[in-house]
Amino acid sequence: MASDYSSSPITLNDLNPKVLKCAYAIRGEIVTHAQTLQQDLTENPGSHPFNEILYCNIGNPHSLGQKPISFFREVLALCDHPLLLDRSETKALFSADSIEQAIQILDQIPCRATGAYSHSQGIKGLRDKIASGIEVRDGFPADPNDIFLTDGASPAVHMMMQLLIGSENDGILCPIPQYPLYSASITLHGGTHISYYLDEETGWALEISELENQLKTARSRGVNVKALVVINPGNPTGRVLAEANQQEIVEFCWKEGLVLLADEVYQENVYAPDKQFHSFKKISRSMGFGEKDISLVSFHSASKGYYGECGKRGGYMEFTGFSPEIREQIYKVASVNLCSNISGQILASLIMIPPKVGDESYESFSAEKEAILSSLARRAKILEDAFNSLEGVTCYNAEGALYSFPRINLPDKAIKAAEEAKTAPDAFYAWRLLNATGIVIVLGSGFGQRPGTWHFRCTILPQEEKIPAIVSRFTQFHKQFMDEFRG
Amino acid sequence: MASDYSSSPITLNDLNPKVLKCAYAIRGEIVTHAQTLQQDLTENPGSHPFNEILYCNIGNPHSLGQKPISFFREVLALCDHPLLLDRSETKALFSADSIEQAIQILDQIPCRATGAYSHSQGIKGLRDKIASGIEVRDGFPADPNDIFLTDGASPAVHMMMQLLIGSENDGILCPIPQYPLYSASITLHGGTHISYYLDEETGWALEISELENQLKTARSRGVNVKALVVINPGNPTGRVLAEANQQEIVEFCWKEGLVLLADEVYQENVYAPDKQFHSFKKISRSMGFGEKDISLVSFHSASKGYYGECGKRGGYMEFTGFSPEIREQIYKVASVNLCSNISGQILASLIMIPPKVGDESYESFSAEKEAILSSLARRAKILEDAFNSLEGVTCYNAEGALYSFPRINLPDKAIKAAEEAKTAPDAFYAWRLLNATGIVIVLGSGFGQRPGTWHFRCTILPQEEKIPAIVSRFTQFHKQFMDEFRG
């Protein structure tokens, strides 16, 4: 592209080629185009055949109207402005247990200073709370010194990639389809992305034989494979791994000497009644593997779950099975950025120790939580049915996470039309959908898909009352699209 | 160091060598040792010749007792828990202008959702506020599209290094002494750190001839020099650049085709009555350089200034003089991490548009601000005088920032003793100081210093009433140290 910044010292050719190579589809061109359409709609209402943009591209619940959990926000507000705790009016505005929790948290912080940099792993008292929450979840001990609080899960993933990747000779096994943070981070750090395919035919199953094949092939090419990424519940697949499958994965990592990088950010988003989330730490401990047998990192985030607090950038990683010398290195890297944001740290602790029976907020908290989770389950089902009713579309049920990931068998004529438009067939479909309906989805190619297959990811996050209209807009678009291109 | 993690797949040798090489002195071994001492003091009071640890290693004002600016915290609390705005009791607890500001901010956010991911550059309405604050500060236009909100300044610096450094052939000019984030980030991204020395003899002046020499030498070695880092007000030197000197620097970058990376996080920390902060953008614009003539990045942070809100991780960079194609690349990299934390974004906007004359909070806000800044100025002066009164120590006055950076002429016997203890002389001094007094400082070598000279950085942040005791402990230690080692 031409630019008239002729005296600017830096051109595209001067940039880090790894940056140029990196791709991140969740906020790609199609989203930028959607933002332009949204501005159009504001400035010229009626200028498009829809009156709002529906961002189904990203797991961002509050942006589509989901309300925050009141208890969490009460505690955050009190920690932000602790002088409120000295005022009698506060009792009328805040629940007794949010006041108590805020006092407890502030007492854990030197000088009660929520405005100070904390320990680079996060405030010790909050890590204690998180560790106790993990113990309750797993039934196995957790150590606060194994917790690193981070600004959401993304920086934690980058930190691990930075630690493990020294050159392009270092490889990371990643699923296809995957959440593109992984491919982007591997590219930015200059490593080799080794794909293993999830098997769509059997409900996106993770087959050990596929892991073995890809590992063998990579090693035969001389790649030093360092780690395996597993996303459970799956993004974008929405599938929840069975316990026996998780055991095989742990066994595989142990046998092959791989670090297991477990993306467990959707641990509280499980809708299928016959499925349950088990952390890889719990699985490995229940198989008898101890701290020194297997290197495991579990990523968690305050952005997902029933809370969906994306903007707070709270999260943590639990980091087990690494020697003290390696911990020192990761601590050093964390310390260069000083610490993660304190509100996010507080929130990450709250999601691991929410109100319990008997607390003043318990009932309202549980009601808010249940309303969100049951509505998400209903929305997942409605969208699954809707997608499956479309011509040429098949879609597994979202057992968990926040996404549907349907497959479209596009007619040859559409594939040809895409070719003529110099774009990929799934991109062709997604752009058409956006321009016709205002619905933003992410192309399957953003996550990776078997060559010759086409998918898209659509979040289940639009508010429930809007779903029927969305389904009808989507269905109508799809019908017209197929009518236009059917052979 | 030996480890019994014998079956762990990853050893130190498997890690990214750039991580192993990276150093960050602000939270190095001495701080870890201080934390151990602090625990000792809690568990066994009286176990050391002091009763508290004084962290003078890091610019972390709230951790030493500085109180947050009430107005900022009021707004943050209201934005965290917007339901408060519907309650009548709120008027008794919050100022009218904090309520108004919170409503205005929430109105800028789609769905008023402070829990949603924002645009990857930050919420547009907040960028508008920041741009208008910059215009008031500089008297030149600022564009909200040039603002990238970040989790403090550190991730912004990393982002720029990631963008500019593709291999070890890419070089960045950095001052000696420097804030070690820069050296750490250059090392982590695999670039070449080209040092230019500030001239201690003339009050840490930045001499253009030195820049020219270092640039020439680097280029003759085949290094592709991409950018110049300037920290103003200086960290660790505490010096404020004169306007004429800034003009020379801009001219130099323009002539040599270098990106100017301006660390301006201490812009509100200027104590010398004859000095004033000028942004490099203002300087370049007032010299007649326009958007397309010079590539300039200004880093700012909510962690410093009179507010000192380190834990909120709020900050921004203003990014001017880059072509649209390069902006796309930086936007893409920012989008991989989705967005910076919303509370930090809000705070970064508040520091740029604080209460103004006539607002209900204006008087109390101004009183809080003035009390902090005038106390910092007094503390800087007391510490300067105290350091200058020590045998063999010389120290320039801190015109700005939050630090003293004295030079110590250590006796030969001390240098020899350090050698025998297999440590650097400045480290030897700093460890002795910590063990004798509980005062934590950072070694000059952490920032870089001319070979054969020794320095340390000490923040001016302990609360004013504690300063006399600190000075007396420090003085007594220094006297004993010199008595022990004087030739």
Which chain B residues have a beta carbon less than 8 Å from that of A189? 16
Round to whole Å and give the CA distance between B397 and B238: 7
Instruction: Please report residues of A whose CB lies closer than 8 A to that of B183.
Output: none
A451: Cβ contacts below 8 Å, ≥ 6 apart? none
A chain contacts of residue B185, beta-carbon cutoff 8 Å: 336
- Chain A residues with beta carbon closer than 8 angstroms to that of B5: 292, 321-323
How far does the CA of residue B83 sit from the closest CA of chain A (Å)?
9
Which residues on chain A are in Cβ contact (under 8 Å) with B86? Answer: none
C-beta atoms of B166 and A17 within 8 A: yes
* Chain B environment of A258 (Cβ under 8 Å): 9
What pLDDT score does A186 carry?
Answer: 97
**Nearest residue on chain B to A224, alpha-carbon basis:** B14
Residues of B in contact with A17 (CB under 8 A): 166
Cβ contact, residue pair A7, B292, below 8 Å: yes
Cβ-Cβ contacts under 8 Å, B308 against chain A: 115
Give A208→chain B minimum CA distance, Å.
19
Instruction: Give me the phi and psi of B322, to 5 degrees please.
Output: -120, 145
Contact check, Cβ <8 Å, A16/B165: yes
Question: Are residues B9 and A341, on separate chains, in Cβ contact within 8 Å?
Answer: no
> Mean pLDDT across the stretch B161-169?
96
A292 vs B5, B93, B310: nearest CB: B5
Q: Residue A67 gets which letter from DSSP?
A: P
* Tens of pLDDT, residues B299-347: 999 999 999 999 999 999 999 999 999 999 999 999 998 999 999 999 9
Please answer yes or no on whether B111 and A65 come within 8 Å at the CB atom: yes
Q: Tell me whether residues A162 and B16 touch, CB distance under 8 A.
A: yes
Q: What is the pLDDT of residue B4?
A: 64
Out of A8, A18, A89, closest to residue B89 by CB: A89
Distances from the Cα of A120 to the Cα of A111, A116, A458, B21, angstroms: 17, 11, 36, 19
Q: Which residues of chain B lie closer than 8 angstroms to A151, CB-CB? A: 151, 313, 337, 340-341
Q: Which residues of B touch A342 (CB under 8 A)?
A: 311-313
Reported as half-sphere exposure (CB side, CA atoms, 13 A), residue A324 has a value of: 4
Q: Which of B3, B64, B329 sits opposite A323 (nearest CB)?
A: B3
* Identity of the residue in A3, A83, A321 whose CB atom sits nearest the CB atom of B323: A3
Which residues in chain A have their CB less than 8 angstroms from residue B26's CB?
Answer: 335
Pair of tokens at residue B364: 């109390």
Chain B residues in contact with A8 by the CB 8 A cut-off are 292, 295, 321-323
Q: Which of B73, B93, B339 sits opposite A89 (nearest CB)?
A: B93
Which residue does chain B place closest to A11, by CA atoms?
B326
Mean pLDDT of chain B: 94
**Which residue of B19, B114, B332 is in closest CB contact with A163?**
B19
User: Closest chain B residue to A339 measured between Cα atoms?
Assistant: B311
Pairs across A and B, CB distance < 8 A: 314
Quote the minimal CA–CA distance from B405 to chain A in Å: 21
Minimum-distance CB partner of B166 among A16, A151, A308:
A16
CA angle at A61 for the pair A58 and A64, rounded to the nearest 5°: 90
Residues of B in contact with A165 (CB under 8 A): 16
B113:A63 CB<8 A: yes
Interface test with B, best of A118, A313, A339 (most B CBs within 10 A): A313
| Closest CA of chain A from B479, distance in Å | 32
Chain B residue nearest residue A342, CA to CA: B311
CB pair distance less than 8 Å for A321 and B8? yes
Q: How far is A293 from chain B (nearest CA, A)?
A: 6
Q: Between B76, B115, B310, which is nearest A68 by CB?
A: B115
Find the closest chain A residue to B259 by CA distance: A9
Nearest CB neighbour to B83, from listed A65, A70, A340: A70
Q: What residues of B are in contact with residue A313 (Cβ under 8 Å)?
A: 151, 339-342
pLDDT tier at B7, thresholds 50, 70, 90: low
| A89 contacts in chain B (CB < 8 Å) | 89, 92-93
- Is the CB of residue A196 less than 8 Å from the CB of residue A174? yes
Predicted confidence at residue B337, as pLDDT, reads: 87
Contact assignment for B310 to A116 by CB distance below 8 Å: yes
Whether the CB-CB separation of B110 and B145 falls below 8 Å is answered with no
According to DSSP, the residues that pair with B260 across neighbouring strands are B228, B296
Per-residue pLDDT at A467: 93
User: Residue A155: its chain B contacts at CB < 8 A?
Assistant: 337
Give the gap in angstroms from C-alpha A413 to the nearest C-alpha of chain B: 33
CA distance A464 to chain B (A): 16
- Select the residue from B11, B19, B219, B261 to test the A interface by mutation, using most A Cβ atoms within 10 A: B19
pLDDT in the model for residue A26: 72
Whether the predicted pLDDT of B6 surpasses 70: no
ipTM metric: 0.95
pLDDT recorded at residue A13? 87
The pLDDT of residue B114: 95
Q: What is the pLDDT of residue B9?
A: 74
Q: Is the pLDDT of residue B389 over 90?
A: yes
Q: What is the mean pLDDT of each run of 10 residues along chain A (487 residues)?
A: 61 91 82 91 91 91 94 97 94 96 95 94 96 98 97 96 96 96 96 96 94 98 97 95 96 96 97 95 96 95 97 97 93 92 98 96 97 95 95 93 95 95 93 95 92 94 92 96 90
- For residue B23, the tally of other CB atoms under 10 A from its CB is 14
User: Which one of A14, A158, A187, A225 would you mutate to disrupt binding with B, by most B Cβ within 10 Å of its Cβ?
Assistant: A14
For residue A251, the surrounding DSSP H or E stretch is helix A243-256
Give A414→chain B minimum CA distance, Å.
29
Q: List the one residue out of A124, A112, A181 whose CA is nearest residue A152.
A: A181
